[in-house]
Amino acid sequence: MTGTEYCKLYKKSPEEAYDKLFEGYCDYVYAIVYNKLRSAASREDIEECVSDIFADVFFGYDTASSFSGDMKGYIGTVAKRRAINAFHSLTARAGHMTDDAEEAFMNMSADTDIEADSDRNETRNILIAKINELGEPDSTIILQKYYYERSSGEIAKRLSMKASAVRMRASRALERLKVALADAGITL
């Protein structure tokens, strides 16, 4: 959801805007919070933190803003900061960190880039959807050739085609795929 879409929806119906925001980003926010708090918090604490994040976004986002990009970066930043604050609060309440919690906290930002992982997963999902939209046998040819690294001859045997026909279909399907991905905002 872009900032512009959210602002329009918010002006129309704040409740609907909140529902759409929650529906679109709940899994993303939960993944961020879970990875930050899993060693120090209960399930209820994690769910409360997720709720607090959506409240922060809902009440803190400037609906008069002219920002028209995707809200994912903003929501991810709010989620990370709120989760880290919750981690500090929970461990301070306990009096000290357990060894597991301390190790998890130290590794929290060093090894895990949740936003990048989420972006890669989203890109993969779009790629698979666009490959499937090519239809048969083109989608099978693309998957066999570029994912399973099979030769045109191997693919031709599986599909009862000539190797030259497989190469031609692969070339054409790849061009159609590039256009479909560009339309979705992904460049190869």
Which CATH entry fits the domain spanning 3-112: 1.20.1740, 1.10.1740, 1.10.3470, 1.10.720?
A: 1.10.1740
Banded model confidence at residue 12, pLDDT cuts 50, 70, 90: confident
Query: In this prediction, what percent of the chain has a pLDDT beyond 70?
Result: 82
Banded model confidence at residue 162, pLDDT cuts 50, 70, 90: very high
Q: Is the dihedral of CA 43, 44, 45, 47 positive or negative?
A: positive
Banded model confidence at residue 64, pLDDT cuts 50, 70, 90: low
Q: Residue 75 pLDDT more than 50? A: yes
Lowest mean pLDDT among 9-18, 34-43, 98-107: 98-107
Rounded Cα distance, 13 and 46, in Å: 28
Rounded Cα distance, 167 and 153, in Å: 9
Give the residues across from 70 on adjacent strands.
2
Q: Residue 112 pLDDT more than 60? A: no
What is the reported pTM? 0.48
Do the beta carbons of residue 149 and residue 170 sit within 8 Å? no
Rounded Cα distance, 10 and 16, in Å: 7
| pLDDT (0 to 100) of residue 169 | 92
Q: Residue 142 pLDDT more than 60? A: yes
What CATH code would you report for 117-183?
Answer: 1.10.10.10
- Each domain of the chain, given as residue ranges in start order, spans 3-112, 117-183
| pLDDT (0 to 100) of residue 168 | 92
For the chain, the 3-state helix, strand and coil shares in percent, each to the nearest 5, are: 75, 0, 25
Q: Residue 77 pLDDT more than 60? A: yes
Banded model confidence at residue 108, pLDDT cuts 50, 70, 90: low
Do the beta carbons of residue 3 and residue 67 sit within 8 Å? yes
Name the DSSP class of 112.
-
| pLDDT (0 to 100) of residue 144 | 87
pLDDT mean over 7-31? 83
